[in-house]
Structure 1
């Protein structure tokens, strides 16, 4: 099937991306050819449009052969096999990269026309190009989205080679292609009109997409992180340090409970919290111990004391905000969260990130009513076993999500995007729809076992 032009390809591709509608996405076009495709997808999804600017690195005496690509934010992708076969010396390669980096920056300035890149933190980025041949440019574009803190990256193209698409499935969280081909040949052969895209066309499409989003009232990503404020939360025998963030019209608040004195400053926890802010949820990053208390290691495992403090924080938070409260925790804090949830029927939902739910008493686990999600790294067999044992005691709706190739989820950079997306889905998806909604392609995670109406 040949496309009439890039706009036609974008409209056909948009129908394959319908599941992303209302999913807090930002569409990123890869200039030049990917921008008209992305414009049609953004218009169909009612999503904002931005750029993921990359620049191919080509072998000078064989321009059709690319040995890599450069992208904004210092992104650099090199195909070592092609580089070896090209015979380029290290000096020649470095010179080419310097020239192409300067050209990339010049084009960024021209195309953006002083517009700041749209914030992607906590949102899904849909990267669009007009085709995938070697995959270097597409990989660089996905890495640009990652560098801009996108919670999830979806690569979508009208046509591409099966070999490159298979490789890119390890780069993006989801890959969508209307026509995967064993042999691509010339990209232009798949379009009746494959005219070059001019700079003025790019700036015009960006401006038109911006006007359309503004007119529709669609929520553009905020210009920066939502402001939070330092607070002290009263509890028995202590005043707990915390940071409270309330986006406008927040419909719930998630307490990130840390069994220590410095969790509110942890950038990885802040990253997951930012994903919730983008979804319209507030957060309370709460340290359940003071600095002096944390020096006594026994306090970190005093689940009863920690649960009482968390329960007091929930009461305080409801008075302060007037909205429902949910819980999220990692490590030993999970035991306290589940004990507190067992004593509080008003808790809306619970997420455990690589935690120790086995530290909660079995009787407490059986009393938890809040839907509970356990996120565990596949390579941490001991912790995975602990989570399964704890889940077996639970009678409420619950699920175990296993993240591939991961051990400690909040101490490794790779799984962090997956953790943020799974957490956001659990807290924002209506209970009746949870069994139908997944935060990542089904192939990436084991299907949850179902027993007696409970999800594990």
Structure 2
């Protein structure tokens, strides 16, 4: 159990330091990952920036992720769920286009330049506050993998065992402090898991400026 996202970030930072990982850039997934990513970036003496993706909600149930799309259009689909719900190609294209634009707009709020920072030849770790389905993390990791980074890792305080295993196929290494067998939701492993606003998240970025 973590007290809050900052506590989770401090514990995650300690684990990454113990592994002696040489990291150039830490990328938090807005909004909830920024309080986690700030202590990680500080401990590793790495730059902190963001990588943005949006869930592709199912028809009539936007919280159910059919997949996710990153701000550069990188997309991941849950093919089994799409087939089970018999979702049309037209719906998928419509929601993908809409959410890719939403992701780009959100990325623009967080940084002055479009797209990711220059990651060519860099060692990069993507940080989130937890992994449930892994949809958003997958889309973000695919965007970073296309950036020319030398090494790409994912670090989370807690995650679904199945999702963490699947994410190992998308990245060089996954660091998850906890992968409980009875995982149901990220928030159940935090005493305080309140919403993080865009303004609060941006403040964490500015702390390193």
TM-score grouping bracket, smaller chain normalisation: over 0.9
State how far apart, in whole Å, the 2-side matches of 1:157 and 1:3 are.
12
C-alpha displacement of 1:4:
1.0
- Structure 1: tracts of 5 or more residues without a match: 212-456
3-state SS of the aligned residue for 1:130?
coil
Instruction: State the match for 2:8 in structure 1.
Output: 9
Residue pairs, 1:320-335, within 5 angstroms: none
- Structure 2: tracts of 5 or more residues without a match: none
State how far apart, in whole Å, the 1-side matches of 2:189 and 2:18 are.
26
State how far apart, in whole Å, the 2-side matches of 1:169 and 1:158 are.
15
Query: Is 2:62 aligned against 1:63?
Result: yes
CA contact (8 A) 2:72 2:115 kept: no
CA contact (8 A) 1:21 1:46 kept: no
CA contact (8 A) 1:6 1:130 kept: yes
Q: Deviations over 1:34-78 (max 9, x none)?
A: 111111100111110011111111113223321111013221111
Instruction: State the match for 1:181 in structure 2.
Output: 180
3-state SS of the aligned residue for 2:179?
strand
State how far apart, in whole Å, the 1-side matches of 2:121 and 2:162 are.
30
Instruction: State the match for 2:44 in structure 1.
Output: 45
Instruction: State the match for 2:96 in structure 1.
Output: 97
C-alpha displacement of 1:118:
2.5
State how far apart, in whole Å, the 1-side matches of 2:135 and 2:107 are.
19
3-state SS of the aligned residue for 1:178?
strand
State how far apart, in whole Å, the 2-side matches of 1:115 and 1:68 are.
23
Residue pairs, 1:252-271, within 5 angstroms: none
Bigger Rg over Cα: 1
CA contact (8 A) 1:73 1:147 kept: no
**1 or 2 for the larger relative contact order (CA 8 Å, sep ≥6)?**
2
State how far apart, in whole Å, the 1-side matches of 2:115 and 2:85 are.
37
State how far apart, in whole Å, the 2-side matches of 1:169 and 1:153 are.
11
CA contact (8 A) 2:107 2:114 kept: no
Instruction: State the match for 2:111 in structure 1.
Output: 112
Instruction: State the match for 1:170 in structure 2.
Output: 169
Say if 1:49 and 1:91 are closer, same or farther in 2 by CA, change over 3 A.
same
Say if 1:19 and 1:122 are closer, same or farther in 2 by CA, change over 3 A.
farther
3-state SS of the aligned residue for 1:158?
strand
Q: Deviations over 1:93-127 (max 9, x none)?
A: 11111211121111111121447742111111101
State how far apart, in whole Å, the 1-side matches of 2:101 and 2:71 are.
11
CA contact (8 A) 1:54 1:70 kept: yes
State how far apart, in whole Å, the 1-side matches of 2:121 and 2:115 are.
18
C-alpha displacement of 1:3:
1.0
CA contact (8 A) 1:135 1:164 kept: yes
With normalisation by structure 1, the TM-score equals 0.44
